[in-house]
Structure 1
Amino acid sequence: MTTSIPKFAHLQIPLEDVVNATNNFADDNIIGRGGLGHVYKGQLQRSGELITISALRLDRKHGGGVVEFWTEVSMLSDLKHPNIVSIVGFCDEQHEKIIVTTYEAKNGSLKEHLSNPNLTWTQRLKICVGVARALSYLHYDEGRGYGVIHLNINSSTILLDKNWEPKLSGFKVSIKQSLNRMDQVVLSEPIGTIGYLDPEIEKSKGVTCKSDIYAFGVVLFEILCGRRAYIRNDANRLLAPLVMQHYENDTLPDIIHPDLKNQMSGYQISVRSLRTYSETAYSCLKEERSHRPHMLSIVNKLEKALEKALKFQPRPENFERPFLAFLFFFTPLS
């Protein structure tokens, strides 16, 4: 059976090709397990070239998932950005539904590296800038004629390639919206992952592009604090209210990732870079959507934070000064 949607016909891949590419969906080829089904790594021949792919095979045993499948195909077929996963095609044949993308996660997902001591502050900033640019493209690119509200921003949907460049994935619940209506509420049930959900959804009964801003703010603090947005059995299981409390009490350094603190004392990061970054992340978590910045502003701020980090030149004779200066930035004057 072939797809009944002519717009996507050029993306159709025969089931036989996907079966061969994944060694008949061998368990050894599974690289991820999600709500829709398993993700398999494989090698597929396309236009005379052997490429490495990820194949999301929809699990039909429990029913559902078809709307999400076509949403992701529709979204990825229109999106072309260096920080967004690239679709190769899809299979809709013999009761199988499979989305095939280029294999981007050579370093896994961001979630796996939040507490990685080898992931430097500059690398973390570059990841943030890349994701911010992808979101700005989704929200504002005029070439498509519409904006996209992602609604699934979290550290699991941010993949990292071999160069640690981020690739945004997870478009199964995304919504298209007119560019001039991105700030207007789209009626919706709460969509997303616990720990990242916009608190305004319940009050407004819907989402806007500012729902992505909130989720991205949580990711920014995950990167800074080196921990996940939600830890089930932890006393502070939700990261967002924890960082808001510490930021407002000028005690944010208490929960910053220890390895980043070590980098501070070792002259590897810029204090001003951290200040710009934390102010930006905090602004994303404002409860009222109207108080949250737009992605264009966030991109600008994060690029400045990265620029400051790259320009920072330490002086060996002042070994302790960067960390002390950082504490000063977060200590209120009295």
Structure 2
Amino acid sequence: MAKSEPFASSVQSAQPCHHFEFPEILLATENFAESLVIGSGGFGNVYKGNLIYGSSLFVAAIKRLDSMSNQGAAEFWAEVEMLSRLRHCNLVSLIGYCNYEKEMILVYEYMHNGTLDDHLHKLRTPLSWLQRLNICIGASRGLHYLHTGTGITSGIIHRDVKSSNILLHESWAAKISDFGLSKIGPTNQPSTYVNTLIKGTFGYLDPNYFTTGKLTRKSDVYAFGVVLLEVLCRKRAVDRSLDEEEWGLVTWVQDSIKDGNLKRIIDSDVRDEISPKCLKEFVSIAERCLHNSPRQRPTMAEVLVGLESVLVLQEKFNKSLQATSRTILSRMVNVLPFISKGENSGIFLLLLNCVDIFFIFLCTTLFISIKTYIYHIMRRKQKIIDVHFSWVIE
């Protein structure tokens, strides 16, 4: 029999969350077979399994609490409580849970494309700049909803925003996950913070929260700023395999910008895709998110609007490039019939057009060469996506 659920929260309008029996979980995971593990983290292992819900069979991600984990019943019930009340296209859906004796299990919708962390740092998937922007926009929508759109006056603070907690749907839509550390915002308005024990992930922790213990929505904004830098640079928030001065992503990027080496920090896979205006605006948003003073950081609503503006700039830039290439090709097509006429009165114009054609030929050849080079690079980087995605849910 399942134990009673200790729901004691200020969150209202609870939505039903299905309780799965333990035998159903055992059947779905083949007795927690190692072959079905798709990831592991501070909570425990995550398994891929087939469950029956209602009258249909569906693929689920089944997260099992490890008895040796630092996380426990408090985090388990926090996540059940939080996600059973929240529904948004950019939040991962909690389908149900199971608590049987010492077993604590969460059942989520399965995300076919794993996590943003998987693709940036493990699989090194060749994500285009537009894909990365859309992922950032989706994640910011999810966080904006948590902060202001839940119907809870004080909002919800995620407290563990990071690339491994941004899951990717098969359509590459981003979804925020892992609400075990989430907190309801301050109820004693006009206070803007919650006094709480320091929890989160090193490299993403808001320095102000770390030193004062005061958790605010701006703590999530800071962590999201780190994610923006990860997306731009394709470097981990903390990477001890690098030289000591490059361990911390935030410090390394800030120092590089001060030294005038902005281009150096950009992931080489997308360096030539980003328009100058787009890059300037994107970096500006990230820098504001990472401001030492929480009051100087933007809200997630402002971050979302800024990123959508960056996307518009990039799309305009891409269209202008396409228009330029079409113009070059059309000029070649228009000039060739003139040359074939061989009119004596047009010798001078013919010479001018020969020069024009030679210039166009050089530009077109260069353009085709670059496109071919990029195509071969992408082909070499393409991997067979027949692997288990590692879901690092800490």
Same topology, TM > 0.5? yes
Match of 1:302 among 300, 307, 311: 307
Taking structure 1 as reference, are residues 290 and 98 closer, same or farther at Cα in structure 2, changes over 3 Å only?
Answer: same
Task: Give the drift of 1:231.
Answer: 0.4
Select between 136-145 and 33-42 the one with higher mean Cα deviation.
136-145
Question: Residue deviations 1:85-109, cap 9 Å, x none?
Answer: 10110001132110001101x1221
Compare relative contact order (CA 8 Å, sep 6+) and give the higher one, 1 or 2. 2
Consecutive unaligned residues in structure 1, runs of 5 or more: 264-268, 321-334
1:121, 1:62 → 2: CA distance? 37
Q: Does 1:252 align with 2:259?
A: no
For the pair shown, the structure with the greater C-alpha radius of gyration is 2
Q: Is the 8 A contact 2:42 2:70 kept in 1?
A: no
Letter aligned with residue 249 of structure 1: D
Match of 1:211 among 213, 219, 225: 219
**2:276 match:** 271
**2:4 match:** 4
Task: Give the drift of 1:242.
Answer: 1.1
Task: Give the drift of 1:25.
Answer: 1.1
Q: Is the 8 A contact 2:161 2:220 kept in 1?
A: yes
Question: Residue deviations 1:246-277, cap 9 Å, x none?
Answer: 233332111110111133xxxxx433222211
User: TM-score if structure 2 supplies the norm length?
Assistant: 0.75
Q: Is the 8 A contact 1:159 1:169 kept in 2?
A: yes
**1:328 match:** none
**2:286 match:** 281
User: TM-score if structure 1 supplies the norm length?
Assistant: 0.88
**1:119 match:** 127
1:278, 1:129 → 2: CA distance? 15
Taking structure 1 as reference, are residues 10 and 35 closer, same or farther at Cα in structure 2, changes over 3 Å only?
Answer: closer
Taking structure 1 as reference, are residues 181 and 51 closer, same or farther at Cα in structure 2, changes over 3 Å only?
Answer: farther
Select between 184-193 and 310-319 the one with higher mean Cα deviation.
310-319
Q: Is the 8 A contact 2:185 2:216 kept in 1?
A: no
Letter aligned with residue 295 of structure 2: S
More helix by share: 2
Considering only aligned residues, what root-mean-square deviation do their CA atoms show, in Å? 2.2
2:101, 2:73 → 1: CA distance? 14
**2:139 match:** 131
Letter aligned with residue 308 of structure 1: L
**1:54 match:** 61
Match of 1:25 among 11, 17, 32: 32
Q: Does 1:234 align with 2:242?
A: yes
Question: Residue deviations 1:278-315, cap 9 Å, x none?
Answer: 11011101011111111110000001111221222202
1:86, 1:38 → 2: CA distance? 18
Taking structure 1 as reference, are residues 259 and 180 closer, same or farther at Cα in structure 2, changes over 3 Å only?
Answer: farther
Taking structure 1 as reference, are residues 157 and 276 closer, same or farther at Cα in structure 2, changes over 3 Å only?
Answer: same
2:129, 2:189 → 1: CA distance? 36
- How many residues align? The count is 314
Consecutive unaligned residues in structure 2, runs of 5 or more: 8-13, 329-362, 368-394
Match of 2:163 among 149, 155, 163: 155
Question: Residue deviations 1:142-172, cap 9 Å, x none?
Answer: 5244411001111111111111111111111
Taking structure 1 as reference, are residues 166 and 181 closer, same or farther at Cα in structure 2, changes over 3 Å only?
Answer: farther
Q: Is the 8 A contact 2:204 2:222 kept in 1?
A: yes
4+ long deviations beyond 3 Å? 6-10, 61-64, 178-183, 316-320
Taking structure 1 as reference, are residues 306 and 10 closer, same or farther at Cα in structure 2, changes over 3 Å only?
Answer: closer
Q: Is the 8 A contact 2:133 2:311 kept in 1?
A: yes
2:278, 2:191 → 1: CA distance? 29
Taking structure 1 as reference, are residues 38 and 279 closer, same or farther at Cα in structure 2, changes over 3 Å only?
Answer: same
1:305, 1:146 → 2: CA distance? 29
1:208, 1:47 → 2: CA distance? 39
Task: Give the drift of 1:189.
Answer: 2.6
Taking structure 1 as reference, are residues 53 and 203 closer, same or farther at Cα in structure 2, changes over 3 Å only?
Answer: same
| Identical-residue share of aligned pairs (%) | 38
Select between 78-87 and 176-185 the one with higher mean Cα deviation.
176-185
